[in-house]
Structure 1
Amino acid sequence: MTKHSPRLPFIDALKAVALQLIILHHLAFYGPMSDHAYSLAPDLFSWMSQHARSAVQAFLVIGGFLAARSLAPAGVLISLQPLGSLRKRYLKLVTPYLAALLIGLACAAIARMLMTHDSIPGRPTLPQVAAHVLLLQGILGYEGLSAGVWYVAIDFQLFALLLGILWLARALGRRRGVAVVGTLLAASLALASLYYFNRDSAWDSWAVYFFASYALGALTYWATNQKRAAGWLLLIIVTVIAALLLDYRPRIAVALAVAMALGLARRHGVLETWPRSHVIAYLAEISYSVFLIHFPICLLINALFSRFAPAEPGVQLVGVLLAWLASLAAGALFYHFVESPGQKGFSRPRAASGFT
C-alpha cells in the first residue's frame, strides 16, 4: 500500500481558507448581528452572504482528491471489504456529528429564549432527529437541525458512490483493466452530473448533484499519475469549460480552479511541501470540528448580542468578529475532547473527505 505523508500543506492551506469563508458566510447570511453591521461594509457583507458559500466546493474537490488517494491511488480499489470501509466512514463522520447536533439543539433552545429570528432551527421532532442520525434528512425533506449538516450527509453519499464505482470496476474490469474501467465509470457519472444533475436544484439532496465537483478531485488525482498528465488535465479543463459555456455556474468554476490548483501542486511537488505553517496545519486538522460546531456558537452569540447589546453597527460588528473567533476556539475544544478521542480506533481510509 502506498505510504502517505501525514499532512499535505497545500491542501491544509486550501481547507483553512475555505473554512473561514464558510464561517463568515453563515455569519453574514443568518444575522441578526450582520443585519445591523451591514451598513459599515455593505459590499463585503453582500459578498460574504451571496458568494462565500462557494468555498464549500473546495471541500468537495479535496474530498474526491483524497478519496482517490486513499481508496484507489493507482485507480484500483485497494480495500477487499468495501462495506467495512463504508461502515468506518459512517462512524468517522457521525461520531462527532451527533455530539455537535446535541450541542446545536441546546444552543438553539437557548437562542429561542433570547430572541425571535428565522435563523433559529425549529423544535426538533423524533423522526427529524432519526433522519439526521441516518444522514437522510435532505432526502426525506426534513429541515436541517444546524446549518451545514447537509454536507455531512452528502459527503457520506459521495464516498459511498465513489466506493461503489471502484468496486464495480474491479468486478467488471478483470480483463480490460480495472483502473481504466473505474476511471471511465467515474468520468461518465461526472459528465452526467456536470451536464444534467448539477443544473437542476431538485437533485441537491443527492450525491449525483455534487458528483461533478467530487469527481474533479478524484480524476485530477488519477490524471497526475500519468506521464502525460498535462494532456489529461487539459481535457478536464476543456470539458468543464464547455459545460460552463452551456450553463455558467460559479460553483463549478470554483471547483475547476481548485482541482487544477491541486493537480499543478502535485505535479510540481508543492502539495507536500508548501506552505509550512503550524497554524495552517492546525486549522486544517480541526476543520471538521469547527465546521460542525461553528453555527451553534454563532447562533448563541447572535442571540446574546440581540438581547443584551445595543443595535449599533459597531457593537454588532464586534459581535460578528467575536463569533468568528469563538467558533475557532470552540472547534479546537471540540476536536480535542470529542472528535479526536472518538476517532481513535478508526483506520484508513482516513483522509477521504474534504474536512477529515
Structure 2
Amino acid sequence: MQSKNHFLLVDSFKVFAALLIILHHLSSYGQMAVDARSVLPGLMTWLFEYGRYAVQVFLVMAGYLAAQSLTRFANTQFSSQTLLRVIINRYLRLFAPYIAALVFTIFCAWIARFWVNDEFVGEQETLSQFIAHLFFLQGILGLDSISAGAWYVAIDWQLYSVFAVLLISFSSYQALIWLISIVAVSSLLYFNRSAQYEAYFIYFIGSYGLGVLAYLAKHFADKKIQVLAKFALIAIGLIIAISALHQVWLRNFLAWFVALLLFVWGNTGYPSLLPRGSKVKAYILHSIAWASPLSYCAFLIHFAFILLANTLYIASGMHAHESGLIAISLMLGVVVCSTIAASYLYRWVEIPSAKLKI
C-alpha cells in the first residue's frame, strides 16, 4: 500500500489539512459562501473562523519532513555548493505545479471578471505581479496574490532555505537546537502576533521549528541530540501553556500538539490488511494513500475552481434564488473537480518535474 517514505499519520495530516483549507476558502469567497451560510450557518462560520488553522498542520509537518530530508547532511563536510544545490532544487520542486496552477488561475479569474464583481477575484494581473510570483516575492513586495495559496508556497521555500542553511552548515546540533528553540519561541510569542511580518519566514518559523524538533527528538542518530530535542519540545510546550495565562493562542497549542503527535506516531506505517479485514477500513487507508501525494496540487489548484463555481452560480442566474442548497452542491463540485484536476496536475506536471534537479 505504501512506499518506504510514506507513513499513515503524515499522509492523513496532508489529506486532512488540504481538505480543510479548501473548505475554509469555500466558506470565505464569493456569493456561494454567503448563500451556503444561510443553510449551514454554524458549519460555515466554523470553517471561516477556524479552517485556516490547517496551515499550522502544514507548517509543522513541513518542518518535520524538511528535517527528514536535510539531516542526511549532518555528518558531511560543509559545502556551499551543496547548500546552494539543495535550496535551488527545493525551488524547482515547488515551481512546476505552482506555475501551472497559477496560469490556470489567471485564466479562470479572467473568465470570472465578466460576471463576478467581487473583491476576491482581484484586478487584472500585471506582468510585474506575475514575475514576482515566479520568484516567490509577491508578499515581500506588497503585491496582491494571484491565488489564495500562493503565499504559502513562498513561505515554504523561505523556511526550507533557512533550515537548509542551519542544518547543513552547523557542525554542532546541540547549539543548533538551542538556536531553533529560541527563534521558535520568539516567533510563537512575538513575531507571529504582528501582521507586519506575514510575508517573512520569521512569522511562521515557530510552527515549522516544532516540526524540526519533533523529527530530531525521535529519529536523529545521536541519542544526546534526541534527548536535547525532547527537552526543547517539552519546554516550548510549557512556555506556550504559561503564555496562555496572558492570552490564549489556539494556533500555538495546535502546532505543539501536531508536533507531539508526529514525535510519537510520525514513523508509523500503514497497517497490513488481512483478506478478511474490514472493507471500510481498507477503503479509507487506500484513499489516504492515494490522496496524500495529490495534496500539494489540490492546494494549488482549488482556488481556480472556486472562481469558476462562483462564475457559474452568478452567470446562470442561480444566485437569484438565494438557495443555500445549490451553493453547497456547487461547493461539493469544487472539491471533486479540485481532486480530479490535482490528480492530472500531479501526474502530468509534478512527477515529471521531479527530474528537474541540479
TM category, shorter: 0.7 to 0.9
- Equivalent AA in structure 1 for residue 71 of structure 2: A
Q: Could you tell me which amino acid in structure 2 is paired with residue 239 of structure 1?
A: I
Change (3 A) 1:309 1:261: farther
How far apart are residue 236 of structure 1 and its match? 3.3
**d(CA) in 2 for partners of 1:89 and 1:334?**
18
Which of 330, 333, 345 is matched with 2:341 structurally? 330
Q: CA deviation at 1:78?
A: 8.1
Give, in angstroms, the shift of residue 74 of structure 1. 8.7
Secondary structure of 2:146's partner?
A: coil
Q: Please tell me whether the aligned partners of residues 191 and 203 of structure 2 are also in contact (alpha carbons under 8 angstroms).
A: yes
1:10-51 Cα shifts (integer Å, max 9, x gaps)? 100011111110000000001211211211110000011111
What does residue range 70-89 of structure 1 map to in structure 2 within 5 Å? 70-72=69-71, 80=79, 81-89=82-90
Identity over aligned residues, as a percent?
A: 35
C-alpha distance in structure 2 between counterparts of 1:293 and 1:313, whole Å: 24
> How far apart are residue 244 of structure 1 and its match?
3.6
Give 2:161's aligned amino acid: A
Q: Does the aligned pair in 1 maintain the 2:11–2:288 contact within 8 Å? A: yes
Measure the CA separation in 1 of the matches of 2:77 and 2:258: 26
Residues 12, 78 of structure 1: alpha-carbon distance in 2 compared, 3 angstrom cutoff:
farther
Q: Deviation per CA, 1:307-343: give whole Å up to 9, x if none.
A: 1142322212211111111111111111111222222
With normalisation by structure 2, the TM-score equals 0.87
The match for 1:236 is 236
1:200, distance to aligned residue in structure 2 (A):
1.2
RMSD: 2.2
Select 1:287's aligned residue among 289, 295, 308: 295
Quick check: 1:271 aligned with 2:268? yes
**1:187 matched to which residue of 2?**
181
Distance 1:42 1:261 in 2: 31
Amino acid at match of 1:234: I
| Kept after mapping to 2: 8 A contact 1:108/1:296 | yes
Change (3 A) 1:166 1:76: farther
2:329 to 318, 326, 337: 318
Query: Are 2:306 and 2:334, in contact at CA under 8 Å, matched by a contact in 1?
Result: yes
Question: Does 1:209 pair with 2:203?
Answer: yes
TM-score (norm 1): 0.88
> 8 Å contact 1:33–1:305 — kept in the other structure?
yes
> In the aligned structure 2, how far is the partner of 1:181 from the partner of 1:306?
58
What SS class does the counterpart of residue 51 from structure 1 fall into? helix
Tell me if the contact between 2:93 and 2:354 (Cα under 8 Å) persists in the aligned partners: yes
2:50 is the alignment partner of 1:39: no
Deviation of 1:218 (Å): 0.2
Aligned positions of 1:19-38 closer than 5 A? 19-38=18-37
Query: Could you give the per-residue CA deviations for residues 231-265 of structure 1, whole angstroms, max 9, x where no partner exists?
Result: 55432321332334344222212111111111111
Partner Cα distance (1:233, 1:86) in 2: 26
Any runs of at least 4 consecutive aligned residues in structure 1 with deviations exceeding 3 A, and if so which? 73-80, 225-233, 243-247, 273-276
Local SS of the residue matching 2:114: helix
